[in-house]
Amino acid sequence: MGPLLAFIVLASVTNASPVPPVKAVSPINQPVFLTVPKPPEGLTLYNPNGEVIARCRKKDDSFGNCKMEPGVTLDDLMNAWVHAYQETQK
Q: What is the count of structural domains for the chain?
A: 1
75 part of a folded domain: yes
61 part of a folded domain: yes
The DSSP bridge partners found for residue 62 are 59
62 part of a folded domain: yes
Alpha carbons 63 and 41: distance in angstroms, whole number: 9
pTM score, whole prediction = 0.48
59 part of a folded domain: yes
Range of the domain at 50: 36-90
Alpha carbons 56 and 66: distance in angstroms, whole number: 4
Please write the tens of the pLDDT for every residue from 13-63.
Answer: 555 566 667 676 666 666 665 666 666 678 888 888 888 888 888 877 777
The pLDDT assigned to 18 comes to 61
Tell me which of 65 and 12 has the higher pLDDT: 65
17 part of a folded domain: no
25 part of a folded domain: no
8 part of a folded domain: no
The pLDDT assigned to 9 comes to 58
Please write the tens of the pLDDT for every residue from 65-85.
Answer: 788 889 888 898 888 888 888
Alpha carbons 38 and 17: distance in angstroms, whole number: 50
